[in-house]
């Protein structure tokens, strides 16, 4: 499980987004000179009100849509022209806003599938294997224990709660040993208890890799993030440590509007 | 640990029962000629070929989640290539290998073109390509025999290396169909147990999600289509000497409906679904043979009933029953259910 397809990490940044514009076909300018950098072992939160361009930026980083202008560099190489699956194979892990798992498979199968998908990547020694792999089974059990979902290992994924699906999805990303983890609202729809568990897990998971995440739950953001970038109307209006962001007057105005109290970002 | 051991024992028992059951069916099928007429023997033989065809179709449809409307044309390609080989004096193995290679080549061509599209467009392209095969078979008189087809296809002996198996009559070749068909079925069963198939089934569930795991979905579907084409062509090659005749309609679009309907009837979710469906289909076909156009209506009504009552097909019905009886024994899942708001996803 320790082999990384691309060898050791040399860059300082796992992700650089440089002056990225993105104009949709209908003329809507979703991103306007967006710039941010995520260090190789940094947990970076991306904040912004609805419609600020967070999801658009995520999709651009993942190769689902290409920027109108500007450059995105993922794990030391340009993301230009790369297909989503190719970026994943480069070392990106991602989760979707809605916990997107394989519904007709069990939790364990989902984890094993993620591992087995990785085994098919070029350069992996197990690429030509025919039988479902024992390594995948072992890795699946281990990750299930780490993520505290071993009690539902044999449950069909369609029966999971929303929060469980999101935890499972996160586990599926982590089992692939990504060097850059992109999480779109990892705690959305989770119960308080699940959120606490997710924060704990993300703290461990994020210690050894770069993480960029969007999140509306401010407790989670301040508990996890090393740095925070705030997006408003497609542009970055501030980047800094959580404390700096909390006290930034511009952020308060753009993001919090008039109903701000210290530390309360008014998540509805 | 003891639970695991018990599970393994149960698996072993199930496997032994499965193998014994399969062997019993094969023996029974081998005995068919001794107590029925040649007409029935031919029908059972073609049912075996239909089972292999339906199973091959299920690789791309049931596991891959992609509907091909031109599958019978691959069966026809195999039939023609085997027929031409045999009529030119080549042996049984040569004919089968040639049929398989032709299936792979034509199937790869189909996949290259059709997989550029998805959903209904994919289906229509495969339909069109199947019709091209049909028209070629119909028009290319010198090679395919044109409208009247290719007749006199016969296998009189099979070289088994150490000895030669003489096939004095049609019953003898029927037995070859049973044994070789069972081998194909076994090969597809093994294929269904591979990591390849498991990942393929995941692409059926959610192809975007599989791509987000770094899997090359296009390559996966392509390979699945080629496997599927290989076994469809082998089924056709096996079929050709059974009646001694191949004709263009074997590959026409309405023939392509048969594996689709058989798979839907039996259930696409499991390996045995298409087998059950193809057998059912053959039975309906046989018992309505004297009813002329009424048979189409009867077939339609039965299909409609099955799909309304059991959308997952006949094997789906069994799985549903099993699941509900298992769920009854398991405590409710309310303990793990979150009461939190599960909406609130903005895009």
Q: What is the pLDDT of residues B10-46, one digit of tens each?
A: 778 888 888 888 898 888 888 888 888 888 888 899 9
Q: Are A211 and A184 in contact (CB under 8 A)?
A: no
Mean pLDDT (chain B) is: 83
pLDDT at A204 over 90: no
Contact between chains at A89 and B211 (C-beta distance less than 8 A): no
Task: Identify which has the larger pLDDT, B38 or A268.
Answer: B38
Over residues A79-103, mean pLDDT: 85
**CB contact set of B237 (below 8 Å; sequence gap of 6+):** B78, B79, B81, B82, B95, B96, B98, B99, B100
- Residue of B195, B339, B347 with shortest CB distance to A129: B195
A149 touches chain B (CB under 8 A): no
pLDDT at A129: 62
pLDDT of residue B228: 95
Q: Report yes or no: A175 at the B interface, CB cutoff 8 Å.
A: no
**B216: distance to nearest CA of chain A, Å?**
7
Residue-wise pLDDT tens digits, A55-68: 888 888 888 888 88
Looking at residue B343, what is its pLDDT? 34
- Under the banding of pLDDT at 50, 70 and 90, the label for residue B323 is low
Q: Do A120 and B333 count as a contact with CB atoms less than 8 A apart? A: no
Return the pLDDT at B161.
78
pLDDT at B183 over 70: yes
Query: Which of B202, B337, B343 lies nearest to residue A102, judging by beta carbons?
Result: B202
B289 interface with A at CB cutoff 8 Å: no
| Contact check, Cβ <8 Å, B346/A103 | no
* B252 or A264, greater pLDDT: B252
Please tell me the predicted confidence (pLDDT) of residue B251: 83
**Residue A151: closest CA among chain B residues belongs to which residue?**
B336
Q: What is the pLDDT of residues B84-129, one digit of tens each?
A: 999 888 889 999 999 999 999 999 999 998 888 877 888 888 898 8
Q: Do A88 and B346 touch (CB under 8 A)?
A: no
Judging contacts by C-beta atoms under 8 Å, the chain B residues touching residue A116 are 195, 198-199
Is the whole model's pTM more than 0.90, yes or no?
no
Mean pLDDT of B315-343: 52
Task: Report whether A75 contacts A91 (CB < 8 A).
Answer: yes
Residue A10 has a CB neighbour count (10 Å cut-off) of 8
Report ipTM (2 d.p.). 0.77
- Quick: pLDDT tens for B271-302: 888 988 889 888 888 888 888 778 888 888 88
Is the model more confident about B225 or about A260?
B225
A contacts of B320 (beta carbons < 8 Å) = none
pLDDT tops 70 at residue B331: no
B220-278 pLDDT per residue, tens:
899 999 999 999 999 999 999 998 888 888 888 888 888 888 888 888 878 888 988 88
Looking at chain B, the whole-number percentage of residues with pLDDT higher than 70 is 90
pLDDT reading at A261 higher than 50: no
Give CA–CA dist B254/B225, Å, rounded: 20
Residue window 187-246, chain A: list those with CB within 8 Å of chain B. 188-194
B-chain residue closest to A57, CA distance: B347
In our burial notation (b when 16+ CB lie closer than 10 A, e otherwise), range A105-138 reads bbbbbbbbbbbbbbbbbeeeeeeebeebbeebee
Task: Give the span between the Cα atoms of B179 and B188, in whole angstroms.
Answer: 14
**SS3 state of residue A70:** strand
Cβ distance of A161 and B337 shorter than 8 Å: yes
CA nearest to B118, candidates B43, B54, B203, B39: B203
Instruction: Using DSSP bridges, classify how beta strands A235-240 and A69-74 pair: parallel, antiparallel or unpaired.
Output: unpaired
Residues 147-206 of B with CB under 8 A from A: 193-196, 198-199, 201-202, 205-206
pLDDT at A186: 86
Burial call A160-172: b when 16+ CB within 10 Å, e when fewer: bbbbbbbbbbbbb
Confidence bin at B306 (pLDDT 50/70/90): confident
Percent of chain A topping pLDDT 90: 3
Task: For residue range B42-73, list pLDDT tens digits in order.
Answer: 889 999 999 999 999 999 998 888 888 989 99
- Span B200-218, mean pLDDT? 86
Closest-CA residue to A168 (of A196, A140, A132): A140
User: What pLDDT, on a 0 to 100 scale, did the predictor assign at position A200?
Assistant: 87
Using the predicted structure, report yes or no on whether residue A106 has a pLDDT greater than 50. yes
| Three-state secondary structure readout of B293-345 | CHHHHHHHHHHHHHHHHCCCHHHHHHHHHHHHHHHHHCCCCHHHCCCCCCCCC
Q: Is the pLDDT of residue B211 over 90?
A: no
Closest CA to B247 of B149, B334, B341: B149
Of the candidates A102, A132, A189, which has its C-beta nearest B206's C-beta? A102
Are residues B213 and A176, on separate chains, in Cβ contact within 8 Å? yes
């Amino acid at each position: 499980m320790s082999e990384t397809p691309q060898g050791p990490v040399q860059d300082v940044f796992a992700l650089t987004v440089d002056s990225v514009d993105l104009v949709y076909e209908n003329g809507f300018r979703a991103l306007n000179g967006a710039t941010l950098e995520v260090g190789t072992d940094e947990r970076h939160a991306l904040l912004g009100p609805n419609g600020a361009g967070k999801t658009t930026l995520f999709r651009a980083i993942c190769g689902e849509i290409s920027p109108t202008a500007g450059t995105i560099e993922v794990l030391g190489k340009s993301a230009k022209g790369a297909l989503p699956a190719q970026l994943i194979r480069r070392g990106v892990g991602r989760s979707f806003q809605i916990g997107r798992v394989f519904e007709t498979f069990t939790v364990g199968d989902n984890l094993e599938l993620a591992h087995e998908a990785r085994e098919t990547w070029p350069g992996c020694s197990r690429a030509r294997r025919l039988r479902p792999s024992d390594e995948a089974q072992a890795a699946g059990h281990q990750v299930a224990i780490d993520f505290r979902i071993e009690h539902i290992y044999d449950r069909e994924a369609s029966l999971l709660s929303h929060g469980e699906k999101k935890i499972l999805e996160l586990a599926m990303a982590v089992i692939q040993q990504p060097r850059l983890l992109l999480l779109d609202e990892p705690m959305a729809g989770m119960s308080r208890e699940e959120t606490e568990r997710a924060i704990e897990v993300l703290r461990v998971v994020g210690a050894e890799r770069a993480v960029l995440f969007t999140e509306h739950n401010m407790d989670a953001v301040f508990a996890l993030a090393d740095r925070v970038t705030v997006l408003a109307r497609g542009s970055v209006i501030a980047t800094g440590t959580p404390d700096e962001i909390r006290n930034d007057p511009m952020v308060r105005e753009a993001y919090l509007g008039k109903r701000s109290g210290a530390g309360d970002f008014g998540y509805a | 640990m003891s639970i695991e051991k018990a599970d393994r024992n149960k698996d072993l028992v199930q496997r032994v029962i499965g193998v014994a059951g399969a062997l019993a069916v094969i023996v029974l099928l081998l005995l068919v000629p001794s107590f029925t007429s040649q007409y029935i023997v031919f029908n059972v033989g073609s049912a075996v070929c239909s089972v292999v065809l339906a199973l091959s179709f299920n690789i791309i449809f049931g596991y891959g989640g992609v509907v091909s409307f031109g599958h019978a044309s691959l069966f026809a390609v195999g039939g023609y290539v085997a027929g031409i080989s045999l009529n030119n004096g080549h042996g049984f193995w040569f004919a089968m290998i040639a049929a398989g290679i032709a299936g792979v080549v034509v199937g790869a061509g189909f996949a290259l073109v059709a997989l550029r599209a998805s959903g209904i467009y994919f289906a229509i392209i495969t339909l069109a390509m199947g019709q091209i095969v049909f028209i070629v078979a119909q028009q290319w008189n010198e090679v395919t025999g044109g409208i009247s087809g290719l007749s006199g296809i016969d296998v009189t002996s099979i070289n088994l290396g150490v000895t030669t198996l003489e096939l004095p009559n049609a019953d003898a070749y029927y037995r070859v169909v049973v044994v070789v068909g069972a081998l194909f079925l076994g090969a597809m069963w093994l294929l269904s147990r591979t990591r390849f198939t498991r990942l393929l089934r995941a692409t059926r569930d959610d192809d975007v999600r599989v791509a987000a795991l770094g899997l090359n979905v296009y390559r996966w579907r392509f390979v699945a289509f080629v496997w599927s084409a290989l076994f469809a062509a082998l089924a056709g090659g096996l079929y050709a000497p059974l009646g001694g005749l191949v004709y263009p309609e074997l590959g026409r679009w309405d023939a392509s409906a048969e594996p689709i309907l058989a798979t839907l009837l039996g259930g696409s979710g499991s390996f045995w679904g298409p087998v059950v469906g193809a057998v059912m289909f053959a039975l309906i076909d046989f018992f309505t043979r004297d009813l002329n156009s009424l048979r189409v209506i009867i077939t339609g009504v039965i299909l409609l009933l099955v799909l309304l009552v059991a959308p997952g097909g006949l094997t789906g019905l069994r799985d549903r029953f099993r699941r509900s009886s298992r769920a009854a024994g398991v405590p409710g899942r309310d303990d793990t259910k979150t009461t939190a708001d599960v909406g609130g996803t903005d895009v």
